[in-house]
Amino acid sequence: MEERRVRWNTLSTEPSNIEYSVGDYIEVLHRATEEEPEGWCLAKVIHKRDEFYFVHYENYENIYDEIVLQEQIRPVNARGSPSLEDIRRQAIEAPSTIIDWCGTQDCEEKLNSVISKTGVYNASYRPIENQFVVIGERKPVEKAAILVSFIIDHQCELIQLENENIKMSKNIENKRQKIKSDSVEEVLVPKELLGLIIGKGGANLSFVKQEYGVSIHIIETNDEESKEFTETQIPEDKALIRIYGKDAKWVKMAKSYIYLQRTSIPIEATKIDYLKGYQNQIINDIKEKSGCVKVFVHDPEKNGTEGLIEVIGNDDAIDSLKLLLEQHLSYFGAYQEKEDTNRELSKQMNKINSNYGDAFYANEGYKNQGATNQRRRNKKY
């Protein structure tokens, strides 16, 4: 009867509630010990009382006889034990990245799943060899080895993802702590001005970041993500620009530089041409000197007495432009007086030219007139 003794728990079925009689052969479940793995042993019922059975193990001395419970026994496994020639052993190396996982309950459960799905006798992790070992008949072992390798690949990917998540979580926390420790300024700007603020290819923002040593974040909607970083309500036609850095002074300077706004300045209709200058040279010069991004001059409406100068720029640039405008317009009266005098002199010159004809051009007066006209063509105003 020795060949009927089976030590691999994978050959077992669930313990049954069949009633056994004295003299019946049964199999008794033995839990794993340091010397032996869990398995079923062939035994004979010697005595029975209620759910208790007194059994004798085949090929064992009587000193090993014992009392077992109904739940520990099952019918004799009809399959019998395999021959040694049928048994195969295959080892799969465990990557170093999953060594910690190999000793977990999750690993044990997955190996038990391999056993139940493939029919191998045993699948286990050997920490000394750092190997997964499957034992059983040839075909089940081949299937189990493939399944174990598949599990290893998935576990490696899971651990890699977990490591990446841990690293990312640390980076997020570090950035949040950095943001909390930084000085922060916020400003709402019209969405129509965002393109000018950002600049072509982000050139303006890059300049501000490098010049003032700050970071800049643009939030355009009141979504859940943005609420994590700001409590400011963002109107539909506005965008929120957050500027943060270590130095509060530089953060404020960056805010002042980047905050563009649109403003209009009224101007008397009679002064618009004077302000523009020849081919807009004056207004363009004022724009460049002030640092404003855009300047538009709007003529007055029909029969109107005032025009408008529309300006886009930050506070400092707009203030500078207003000062330059004021200074330029303060000369308007003096230039008008000089222009009136110049026109009167021109009339006199034309009168002389028309009355004296060739006699005038024969002397130095012709040369002087030409020099005067050349100066007038070169002026800005």
Domain 2-74 has CATH 2.40.30.10: no
The reported pLDDT for the residue numbered 6 is 40
Please name the CATH architecture into which domain 84-174 falls.
2-Layer Sandwich (3.30)
Q: From residue 237, how far is each of 192, 194, 204, 205, 324 by CA, in Å? A: 8, 11, 21, 21, 31
With CA atoms as reference, report the closest residue to 189 among 253, 239, 226: 239
What average pLDDT score do residues 103-128 get? 90
Q: pLDDT-derived band of residue 92, with 50, 70 and 90 as boundaries? A: very high
The reported pLDDT for the residue numbered 84 is 67
| pLDDT tens digits for range 285-312 | 999 999 888 899 998 888 888 999 999 9
Q: Quote the CA–CA distance of 332 and 269 in Å, as a whole number.
A: 13
The reported pLDDT for the residue numbered 302 is 82
The reported pLDDT for the residue numbered 5 is 39
Q: Quote the CA–CA distance of 185 and 342 in Å, as a whole number.
A: 55
Please report, rounded to a whole number, the percentage of residues in the chain having pLDDT higher than 90.
28
| pLDDT tens digits for range 180-214 | 667 888 888 888 888 888 888 888 889 989 989 88
Q: Quote the CA–CA distance of 381 and 377 in Å, as a whole number.
A: 10
Q: From residue 86, how far is each of 80, 89, 267 by CA, in Å? A: 13, 10, 104
Domain 182-258 has CATH 3.30.1370.10: yes
Burial of residue 362 (CB within 10 Å: 0-12, 13-18, 19+) is exposed
| pLDDT tens digits for range 253-268 | 888 888 888 899 999 9
Q: pLDDT-derived band of residue 323, with 50, 70 and 90 as boundaries? A: very high
Q: pLDDT-derived band of residue 221, with 50, 70 and 90 as boundaries? A: confident
What average pLDDT score do residues 67-89 get? 76
Has this prediction a pTM greater than 0.75? no
The reported pLDDT for the residue numbered 4 is 38
Q: Quote the CA–CA distance of 328 and 322 in Å, as a whole number.
A: 10
Domain ranges of the chain: 2-74, 84-174, 182-258, 261-330, 335-378
| pLDDT tens digits for range 128-186 | 999 999 988 889 999 999 999 999 999 999 999 999 999 998 888 887 777 666 788 88
84-174 and 261-330 agree in CATH topology: yes
The reported pLDDT for the residue numbered 11 is 45
Average pLDDT for the chain: 82
Q: Which fold has domain 261-330?
A: Ribosomal Protein S8; Chain: A, domain 1 (3.30.1370)
Q: Quote the CA–CA distance of 144 and 114 in Å, as a whole number.
A: 6
